[in-house]
Structure 1
Amino acid sequence: MKKSVFAVVSSLAVLGTALAGCSGGQQTATPPAQQPAGNTGTTTETPAPAAEAKPQVLRFNLHSEPPTADPGLAEDTTSGAIILATFDGLTRIVKDKPEVAAAESYTVSDDLLTYTFKIRDHKWSNGDPVTAHDFEFAWKRVLDPKTASNYAYQLYYLKNAEKANKGEAKLDEVGVKALDDKTLEVKLENPTPFFLELLAFRTYFPINQKVHEANEKWAAEAATHVGNGPFKMELWEHKSKITLVKNENYWDKDSVKLEKIEFSMVEDENTELSMFENGELDWAGAPTSALPTDAIPALKDSGKMTTQPIAGTYWYKFNTEKAPFNNVKIRKAFTYSIDRVSLIDNILQAGQLPATGAVPPSMALNKDGYFKDNDLETAKKLLEEGMQELGITSLPPITLSYNTSEGHKKIAEAIQDQWKKNLGVEVKLENKEWKVYLEDMHEGNFQIGRMGWLGDFNDPINFLELYKDKYGGNNDTRWEHPKFKELLNQSALEMDMDKRKKILADAEQVLMDEMPIAPIYFYTQSWVQNESVKGVQITGLGDVDWKWAYVE
């Protein structure tokens, strides 16, 4: 979000961002990428800065206004970047592995179903003590149906969480309980091997219960925003800039070298790159924005650009409730007739891989994919058959939507041209500002819409579970399939990892047979940075963490 990716995003996007698995808003050719077969993320590290070093101020660009700074509501990579800087979960990802953060220690029961966390002595940015009650309150708030959090399903690993979110159990029955101010007991539905990693994801972050109960809109402005992370929000001029400053109340403040992070909000990637070249920014491109596609070849040749693969997929979503995409053969025809290799070679140009499945290579269930790229013969046949099944001789008007970004626009234009050339279909393009775009996607106000997803954790379930429930938080397709749901439920109970992988592969096969989404490519992230910037951690899931960053 990891994430919808703006550039999607989670969760791409992922430019728009990726969502958390993140579908993102600003990730496209070089989206936030949210590569882990052990998650080998990038950290720009060198010895700690000397006392006489430059002012510890870092200047980044956010491609768009973050839709929220509330960890319980965030679903995209832009919001996620700000939230990770201003909050700590029970764990935090350090070099792609979870380490205790707000938790000082933990124990696990022999049956792997009960975790008991000791909350370390630390404070919120307003000076209040952080307690186990804040975690219990935050998690139950996300699960409360009245909150309408699109990421509530991320907590379904907790005992009775799904039932509570669907109104079938009381929130008091959910498996999280503060035993006292410093002890948090968590009970799971099933053993979850990636649970400690999941706790580092924003939906599991605490919020200050007292602050929220006094003002439910506390996260909308800098003056009222309260976190427990390495930085706190000093300024938020909406759609213009955000300034974070070091949080003097942070438990690990001695590890934080930066005094300030200044974020501009420039949507045009060419302007952003010019600002970097003019010394107005210290970084341009992923993971909070994207590089202009036209500049990538020269930046690559110069050696100035850094590129890394990430666990993310860029895809188009079909609204399966609207004709003609209520027909599976027509969905497949549009998907099969995309020339992904040409798209990557001529537009993206940053080492992306063509996607013929939903799950990225770092956690692949079928390395050969599920269909053939640019399969025009099959596509034309399926289009004809699908139209016959619908009883139509011509397609209704088709609109492809994307969030404002030079990269998303170029991808859409190329695919628009391919569909016209390969299928004889006229497609109208429509772009919208990221926040509005997300709302329209969730409300079903689209026919085909771009989105990206970056993994929240390195397991295929994180990509597949998006489409489990018709009205799931990030399932904009409105597609649901009983066999698919059954297989995902089976996978949660299977402790043999090889058997579990086979079950998930069968589930992905159902998804690709039904094709509510058209996978397009697997993400890489590309950026340029000032050589004096050190210690920025970018994980294999595409998350960015400035906790250890500094200016040399």
Structure 2
Amino acid sequence: MKKNVFALVSSVAVLGAALAGCAGGQQATTDPKPAEGTTGQQPAAPAEKKPQVLKLNLHSEPPTADPGISEDTTSAAIIRATFDGLTRVDASQQPVMSVAESYELSEDMLTYTFKLKDTKWANGEPVTAHDFEYAWKRALDPNTASNYAYQLYYVKNGEAFNKGTASRDDVGVKALDDKTLEVKLENPTPFFLELTAFPTYFPVNKKLVESNPKWAAEASTHMGNGPFKMETWEHKSKLVLVKNENYWDKDTVKLDRIEFAMVEDENTELSMFENGEIDWAGSPTSSLPTDAIPALKEQKKITTQAIAGTYWYKFNTEKPPFNNVKIRKAFAYSIDRQSLIDNILQTGQLPAMGAVPPSMALKPDGFFKDNDVETAKKLLDEGMKELGITKLPPITLSYNTSEAHQKIAAAIQDQWKKNLGVEVKLENKEWKVYLEDMHQGNYQIGRLGWLGDFNDPINFLEMYKDKDGGNNDTRWEHPKFKELLNQSATEPDPAKRKQILLEAETILMDEMPVAPIYFYTNSWVQKENVKGVVIGGLGDVDWKWASVE
């Protein structure tokens, strides 16, 4: 999901920790029966079960709860809890039918016909195929300005409509009736059932959306069709979800409530966990304080899982000096990634020497060397001569507020000063503001991350296909790179397709609009009585099957 992940050790791992015992109340009890032959009192009625409440922390305010414009992991966590798609990824990491009851795929693999179950919105109204058609076309509509619109380009004429060269009616999604959705694709897409489990493909209620443009901004007007519904949203303070009694699979949902605090400080969050105020700390909705990780590891309280995600710094390629490729490469090559992992991150991350993570790597050994200072100095000198300058302009490195991001930025700031003789100013901002500034190009170097939406290299490359693409904050574009991505979409031979994508990633790393830093792991601690939280290999989280025993 977008996976402009805010957390340091985020967008897909699981940490299971053993603290605190059961939070009581799940086993009914009765008074002992009187001895045989006596006239003792009648046994007491079974005690009522206590509500199952899961308490968590969101590191920051979700920028949105609207699946059509969602682009980050914080928003996606709330949206996955409150919405449901045609498919849903289960605990085994496979897409299974959810709102869809079944589907048929044409022989040419270009047309899906989905049959829908009888499901409802949280207010009891039926969810129909028309809601899906409306939602997909809404996300593609250029007026919606969805940064994830390109995720729907697999649908016939999706890209053309988004770019103004086709009409809404030309888009290959159509409700044949209330319970039948026909989807025509541009090309065979083997991972399409994974995509239909992604927030951009979720339905929205047309009547609500058109009657209230701000419907997703408050709990009182928010409405989904998922396992939970929003009860409270005190902005930047608290968010509460409660079980949705109109959910089609409500009998599977064990939690009665999910209560989120919104605390940015990781040390405070960990203290809340240790004090019993929350049941989980760290990924995927926040991160653990780096200073606490050694002790948590020693106490065997921490769980760490590798996820398909890349932490990188983006360069604004429209502004000097990073409009020069050699200067971009100099900054990227002079980072000592392994020292960041050993001294700050400490949870098994891998140095990123390419854009695509290990689970789908095209070139496992990478495209450049870590901490290659000699080459970096040479490139910096050459780049400055090409720009006709003897001194770099002021350089600012931006990141969203987080202890870990700050430590990484400070360490890299020191490395650039030591290795290149460059003075760099650090700047941090609150997540929502930071994300908007990145999209508007109000930065020079900016931290972001990407967690895979599906396990295919195209997902890590396609965001840089178009200069004005929704998630391409670098403003970089390359005609050959674009041509290769288009070619990969129509290549049926997997080996040939992989070679095409390798050639594309080679161009990306040679041009270096982004400097990959490390491949993610998720790390967290959780109470022993929290069960069934599904954390996927792509960094997403689903509480549908969770319980507090």
Q: Does the TM-score normalized on the shorter chain lie above 0.5?
A: yes
Aligned-partner SS, 1:341: helix
Does the alignment pair 1:31 with 2:10? yes
CA contact (8 A) 2:11 2:450 kept: no
> Residues of 2 paired with 1:346 and 1:416: CA distance?
15
Taking only the aligned residue pairs, the percentage that are identical comes to 77
CA contact (8 A) 1:356 1:520 kept: yes
CA contact (8 A) 2:304 2:521 kept: yes
- Amino acid of the structure 1 residue aligned with 2:180: T
C-alpha displacement of 1:92: 0.2
C-alpha displacement of 1:31: 1.8
> Residues of 2 paired with 1:449 and 1:531: CA distance?
38
Alignment of 1:372-383 (within 5 A): 372-383=369-380
Q: 2:65 aligns with which of 66, 69, 87?
A: 69
- Amino acid of the structure 1 residue aligned with 2:185: L
> Residues of 2 paired with 1:105 and 1:226: CA distance?
25
> Residues of 1 paired with 2:213 and 2:387: CA distance?
48
Give the TM-score normalised by the residue count of structure 1: 0.93
CA contact (8 A) 2:140 2:146 kept: yes
Relative to structure 1, the CA distance from residue 43 to residue 128 in structure 2 (aligned partners, 3 Å threshold; closer, same or farther) is farther
> Residues of 2 paired with 1:118 and 1:447: CA distance?
48
1:137 — aligned with what? 134
C-alpha displacement of 1:127: 1.1
Does the alignment pair 1:303 with 2:282? no
1:123 — aligned with what? 120
Query: RMSD of the TM alignment (CA)?
Result: 1.2
Give the TM-score normalised by the residue count of structure 2: 0.94
Does the alignment pair 1:235 with 2:232? yes
- Amino acid of the structure 2 residue aligned with 1:128: E
Alignment of 1:503-514 (within 5 A): 503-514=500-511
> Residues of 2 paired with 1:118 and 1:500: CA distance?
32
> Residues of 2 paired with 1:76 and 1:58: CA distance?
22
> Residues of 2 paired with 1:24 and 1:67: CA distance?
12
> Residues of 2 paired with 1:42 and 1:428: CA distance?
35
CA contact (8 A) 2:329 2:379 kept: yes
> Residues of 2 paired with 1:326 and 1:542: CA distance?
32
2:452 — aligned with what? 455
> Residues of 1 paired with 2:350 and 2:442: CA distance?
30
- Amino acid of the structure 1 residue aligned with 2:5: G
C-alpha displacement of 1:169: 0.2
> Residues of 2 paired with 1:425 and 1:43: CA distance?
42
Q: 2:251 aligns with which of 240, 251, 254?
A: 254
In terms of mean alpha carbon deviation, does 204-213 or 76-85 score higher? 204-213
Q: Render the CA deviation track for 1:159-185: whole Å, top value 9, x for unaligned.
A: 000000000000110000000000000
Alignment of 1:531-546 (within 5 A): 531-546=528-543
Does the alignment pair 1:346 with 2:343? yes
2:31 — aligned with what? none
C-alpha displacement of 1:32: 3.1
Q: 2:432 aligns with which of 414, 430, 435?
A: 435
Does the alignment pair 1:102 with 2:99? yes
From the CA coordinates, give the structure whose radius of gyration is larger: 2
CA contact (8 A) 1:465 1:488 kept: yes
Aligned-partner SS, 2:147: coil
- Amino acid of the structure 2 residue aligned with 1:120: K
> Residues of 1 paired with 2:458 and 2:546: CA distance?
32
- Amino acid of the structure 2 residue aligned with 1:31: S
CA contact (8 A) 1:150 1:473 kept: yes
> Residues of 1 paired with 2:50 and 2:348: CA distance?
35
1:480 — aligned with what? 477
- Amino acid of the structure 1 residue aligned with 2:331: F
Aligned-partner SS, 1:296: helix
1:413 — aligned with what? 410
Q: For this pair of structures, how many residues does the alignment match?
A: 521
Alignment of 1:277-426 (within 5 A): 277-426=274-423
- Amino acid of the structure 2 residue aligned with 1:23: N
- Amino acid of the structure 2 residue aligned with 1:285: G
> Residues of 1 paired with 2:449 and 2:461: CA distance?
13
Unpaired stretches in structure 2, ≥5 consecutive residues: 18-24, 29-48
> Residues of 1 paired with 2:277 and 2:16: CA distance?
23
C-alpha displacement of 1:54: 5.2
Q: Render the CA deviation track for 1:293-336: whole Å, top value 9, x for unaligned.
A: 00011101110000000000000000000000000000000000
Aligned-partner SS, 2:89: strand
